[in-house]
A and B are shown apart, each in its own frame.
Chain A
Amino acid sequence: MADGAVAASDVGATEFALRERRDTGALHRAIFIGLAGLLLVAPFLAYPVFLMKVLCFALFALAFNLLLGYGGLLSFGHAAYFGMASYVSAYTAKHWGMTPELAILLGVAVAALLGTAFGALAIRRQGIYFAMITLALAQMVYFFSLQTPRFTGGEDGIQAVPRGKLFGLLSLADDRILYYVVAAIFFGGLLLIYRIIHSPFGQVCKAIRDNEPRAISLGYRANQYKLAVFVLSASLAGLAGATKAIVFQLASLTDVHWTMSGEVVLMTLVGGMGTVFGPIAGALVIVAMQNYLAHLGAWVTIIQGVIFVVCVLVFREGIVGVIAKRVKQPL
């Protein structure tokens, strides 16, 4: 009798959990559809170049969030992959005459290689040491970029990168057309990250994030998972950087500077760490501030700081984190 009651309540709980998961799935699907619709009409409402910038940084923040929010690893050197990929894509597009899609893919490949090398070193330590190792390695990339003007153009950067023709056919000179290409890249990246998070691989990553010794005791090779998620994150950051180089037709030291690593942390925290859609909101807020408050001069950085402080003090879960709490669904 008692056994039966327990079994019944168990079944009830599982059913409830399943229904909840279905609800969440439906909600996410609705958000994805809404987002796709928004991406389609956005260039008619706002300035396309600005939107492309938001999308590039949103993808960058999404990649960073994959590592921080789902892998529990705070990298303070993500500018290295972002910046190096943007240099590679700018360089190959300009000097080797690559078509944009090949230039971007090459950038991603270099970011992945760099991520593998740096990740393999960095995951050997945890917490603050991990962050410092990634920062130190990223600074090496910065100095490499500073000291090789033949490749990076030094402090002038690589300028006048041709936008070229997609697959050698479709000219990207028009902002609207380029926007849709960037939106497609962004949406593809977002779907990929969503898939990664909700795959068994992502579940294991979350388990390692929450309790690494327990995950190891269950037989998972934590370091391999960490390295894999690190490389994925670095490659996606590279995808964002390489795309940005084509959009702005330049690659510069700003992209590899440590402040860029800081900016992406800011975007992720403001938007909501460990939420799927948070980094997009964070990137939108930060880039919009940089852009629309530009006439206020010195106040931009001060306002940015105030927003960060308010965000950390009042809603620590970030914009989307707070909304997720309200609707009681993970977003």
Chain B
Amino acid sequence: MKLKSLLVACAIAALSAGAAQAQVSVKIGVLNDRSGLYADISGEGSVIAARMAAEDFKAKEKGINVEIVSADHQNKPDVGSNIARQWYDNEGVDVIMDVPTSSVALAVNQITKDKNKIFINSGAASSDLTGPQCTPNTVHWTYDTVMLANGTGGAMVKAGGDTWFFLTADYAFGHALERDTTAVVVKNGGKVLGSVKTPFPGQDFSSFLLQAQASKAKVIGLANAGGDTINSIKQAGEFGITQAGQKLAGLLVFSSDVKALGLQTAQGLVLTESFYWDLNDQTREFSKRFAARNNGKMPTMVQAGVYAGLLHYLKAVEATKSKDTATIMAKMKEMPTDDPLFGKGTIRVDGRKMHDAYLFEVKKPSESKGEWDLYKLISTIPAEQAFRPLDQGNCPLVKKS
């Protein structure tokens, strides 16, 4: 009797010790815009994507307890930075994900470094995150401005669009997009015939569009974002610019924007993304499950990036059985990435996630077979050509190694 109870006690102790060892709890904070301009590309969809990543990874069965919290940074850096600090300091958040809007992303980037946690960015465009402002704690997953310029600029020229005219939003971001894309166009043997600066934010683009039309350039590059892009595409549609033979190239357009504009307006627009729901069987399978939970809306590349990023993080947690920042970051960069949405890839020392990018053209309404049948693939841009080479980003981490 005594022996039996002793044995039972030992067994229970052993079991509970075993369970305690396998049990790792991680808390993920999805911080993005849930009410404004970027709510459609990130927003609640990113939270759904994060939950799906935890479920698909079967985290519970593997002894990893994943808790997901979310918040709206309202595109204000001070709100975002306040939430990030509070999450790290008080609520035990280990990883912050998504964070569109460059100013907020750069703020969270800095705080994450100070607090030595992990930041997996999917929503922001700024290539500074893996450039001058790179930190050992940040992974930039989905895309950046360099990729957009390389994709749309380079691939367009190769596809025959060798003369360009830019419609540039008159502020630093617009200027940077124009400058980067011009460099790529010229490098690939194209020519820039001219550009016009449009007031930011702008409502009426008609005179600028007529100027672009008169330039007879084969491609009109839209170096703008958000509402400016939407307005300029709409007005270009009214002028019938793409039907007349000129191509419209969006330098920062997402599938949710195209969906909102409708094929009638957006047809013929050329753009670069690193994910599209209808790429292959795996993306289709994921996207159908995703859409069922997101009011029928297909995932954007930003939401896909949240899914893939969290999946990779969880793999690193499983492999190292720890959530120590340095250990996990080392593992995430050492281990090649492989997920159903972006395929095989790597994470560079500067935090840049490497994967292929795709140049798409928006279908004509007559070509579309369904509500979400938006793009046709023009070309695939290999990761090395899509992203900025490691030694050109001025990332301090690269010089050291």
Contact = CB atoms under 8 A, between A and B. Distances in A.
A252 B74 contact: no
A294 B171 contact: no
Nearest to B85: A49
A159 B82 contact: no
A50 B86 CA distance: 8
A155 interface: yes
Contacts of A155: 102-103, 171-173
Interface in B37-87: 39, 43-44, 69-79, 81-83, 85-86
Among A147, A159, A160, A301, max chain B CB count under 10 A is at A159
B86 A47 contact: yes
Given A249-B110, A254-B75, A298-B72, 16 more contacts: A49-B89, A149-B171, A149-B172, A157-B77, A157-B106, A159-B110, A159-B133, A248-B81, A249-B107, A250-B78, A254-B76, A254-B77, A291-B86, A294-B74, A297-B39, A299-B35
B43 A297 contact: yes
Contacts of A226: none
A234 B171 CA distance: 27
25 contacts: A47-B90, A50-B82, A146-B200, A149-B172, A153-B172, A154-B172, A156-B126, A157-B107, A159-B110, A160-B106, A244-B78, A248-B77, A250-B103, A254-B75, A254-B77, A254-B78, A254-B103, A290-B74, A290-B79, A295-B72, A297-B35, A297-B44, A298-B35, A301-B35, A301-B74
A295 B69 contact: yes
B82 A300 contact: no
Interface of B: 34-35, 39, 43-44, 69-79, 81-83, 85-86, 89-90, 102-103, 106-107, 110, 126, 128, 133, 170-173, 200
Contact of A250 (B75, B77, B171): B77
Contacts of A47: 85-86, 89-90
A182 B317 CA distance: 40
Nearest to B124: A156
Interface residues on A, range: 20 to 34
Contact of B72 (A49, A157, A296): A296
A254 B73 CA distance: 12
B171 A147 contact: yes
A295 B103 contact: no
Main secondary structure of the interface of B (DSSP, over half): helix
Contacts of B90: 47
A242 B82 CA distance: 17
Among A53, A255, A297, A299, max chain B CB count under 10 A is at A297
Given A157-B103, A250-B107, A294 B133 contact: no
Contact of B71 (A149, A157, A248, A294): A294
A50 B79 CA distance: 10
A253 interface: yes
B266 to A, nearest CB: 25
Given A149-B172, A250-B107, A291 B79 contact: yes
A318 B285 CA distance: 54
Interface string A284-328: 000000110011111111000000000000000000000000000
A157 B128 CA distance: 13
Contacts of A300: 35, 72, 74
Interface in A238-263: 244, 248-250, 252-255
Among A157, A244, A252, A295, max chain B CB count under 10 A is at A252
Nearest to A302: B35
A154 B82 contact: no
A291 B82 contact: yes
